[in-house]
């Protein structure tokens, strides 16, 4: 009994001392604006936003959600093995609860991508490093963020909206039309900084053609979204892509989906994957 009391007293003593001072000594640290030292490091940092794209066509994410909601395909129950708690049936019957896995994973994919773009833009602008391609990195991230937000307003209409990485609260919800107008201006303001011609060095990165594609998709939906026809602008955006002179329809459809499809004249914006991982 005495032994138990001694142990108990010792524990109480340790806890009383251990919980009163929670301060820590930091022996080394790097400020955010000193972290990236050169162009190579800033470009590598920007790659984090592109890797977010890899979740697009994973099972039970945004790609699957769009396939099911548009009736491009149907998932049969097959004796129950593919029923998956009814999540596919909910999509196909348009009775979708907020907890549906396809819905939540699609939403998370979009806003994780937006958050990454916001962070990288903030870090790149904060860096004192100056080099010729810095504006292009920022422009790429803004175009990629526009792509993510286009997906958001296409699927959900009014969504939380912020471009401020330092904002700590929940973003204010903005209307689809407000975000549309913001994206249109931002894309047009940044196209000039992007590469015009596709090449080995910008494979998988945002180019002028990718930016024009986002605009064309937005303009094609404008009348359905908020009653303003913009088909003339959609036509011009498509013509701008054609005027680049680097894109054409491939003779073989499968060329676009080869493991090494860098030479495809049809692909405008691709998502990079590592075949050893995916």
Residue 70 lies in a domain: yes
Q: Distance (Å, rounded) from C-alpha 183 to C-alpha 228?
A: 16
Q: Which residue has the tokens 């007293």?
A: 9
- The separation between CA 130 and the C-alpha centre of its own chain, rounded to angstroms, equals 26
The pLDDT score that the predictor gives to residue 30 is: 53
Q: Is the torsion defined by CA of 169, 175, 178, 182 positive or negative?
A: positive
Q: Which of 74-83, 118-127, 191-200 has the lowest mean pLDDT?
A: 74-83
Residue 22 lies in a domain: no
Average pLDDT of the residues in 196-216: 94
The pLDDT score that the predictor gives to residue 27 is: 59
Share of the chain above pLDDT 90, in %: 58
The pLDDT score that the predictor gives to residue 42 is: 84
Residue 80 lies in a domain: yes
Average pLDDT of the residues in 255-277: 86
pLDDT digits (tens, 9 = 90+) for 225-250: 999 999 999 999 999 999 999 999 99
Average pLDDT of the residues in 68-75: 86
The pLDDT score that the predictor gives to residue 259 is: 85
Give me the number of domains the chain comprises. Answer: 1
pLDDT digits (tens, 9 = 90+) for 182-191: 999 999 999 9
The pLDDT score that the predictor gives to residue 38 is: 78
Residue 237 near residue 169, CB atoms below 8 Å: no
Residue 187 lies in a domain: yes
The pLDDT score that the predictor gives to residue 20 is: 60
Residue 240 lies in a domain: yes
Residue 224 near residue 218, CB atoms below 8 Å: no
Which of left, alpha, beta for 64 (phi over 0: left; psi -120 to 50: alpha)? alpha
The pLDDT score that the predictor gives to residue 19 is: 54
Q: What angle do CA 143, 269, 56 make, to 5 degrees?
A: 85
pLDDT digits (tens, 9 = 90+) for 111-122: 999 999 999 999
Average pLDDT of the residues in 69-77: 85
CATH at 213:
1.25.40.390
Q: Which of 80-84, 142-146, 160-164 has the lowest mean pLDDT?
A: 80-84
Q: Distance (Å, rounded) from C-alpha 140 to C-alpha 118?
A: 12
Question: Domain residues for 131?
Answer: 37-248
């Amino acid at each position: 009994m005495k032994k138990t009391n001694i142990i108990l007293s010792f524990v109480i003593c340790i806890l009383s001392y251990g919980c009163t001072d929670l301060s820590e000594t930091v022996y080394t640290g790097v400020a955010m604006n000193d972290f990236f030292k050169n162009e190579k490091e800033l470009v590598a940092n920007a790659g984090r936003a592109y890797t977010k794209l890899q979740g697009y066509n994973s099972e039970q994410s945004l790609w699957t959600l769009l396939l099911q909601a548009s009736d491009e395909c149907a998932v049969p129950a097959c004796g129950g093995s593919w029923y998956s708690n009814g999540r596919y049936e909910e999509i196909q019957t348009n009775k979708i609860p907020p907890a549906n896995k396809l819905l939540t994973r699609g939403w998370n994919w979009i806003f994780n991508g937006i958050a990454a773009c916001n962070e990288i833009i903030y870090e790149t602008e904060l860096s004192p490093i100056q080099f010729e391609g810095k504006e292009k990195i920022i422009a790429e991230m803004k175009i990629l963020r526009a792509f993510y937000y286009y997906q958001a307003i296409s699927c959900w209409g009014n969504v939380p909206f912020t471009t401020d990485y330092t904002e700590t609260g929940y973003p204010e919800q903005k209307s689809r039309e407000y975000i549309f107008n913001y994206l249109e201006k931002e894309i047009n303001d940044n196209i000039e900084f992007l590469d015009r011609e596709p090449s080995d060095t910008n494979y998988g990165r945002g180019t002028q053609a990718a930016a024009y594609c986002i605009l064309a998709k937005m303009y094609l939906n404008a009348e359905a979204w908020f009653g303003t026809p913009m088909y003339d602008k959609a036509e011009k955006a498509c013509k701008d892509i054609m005027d680049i002179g680097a894109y054409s329809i491939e003779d073989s459809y499968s060329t676009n989906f080869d493991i090494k499809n860098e030479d495809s004249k049809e692909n405008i914006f691709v998502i990079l994957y590592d075949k050893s991982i995916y």
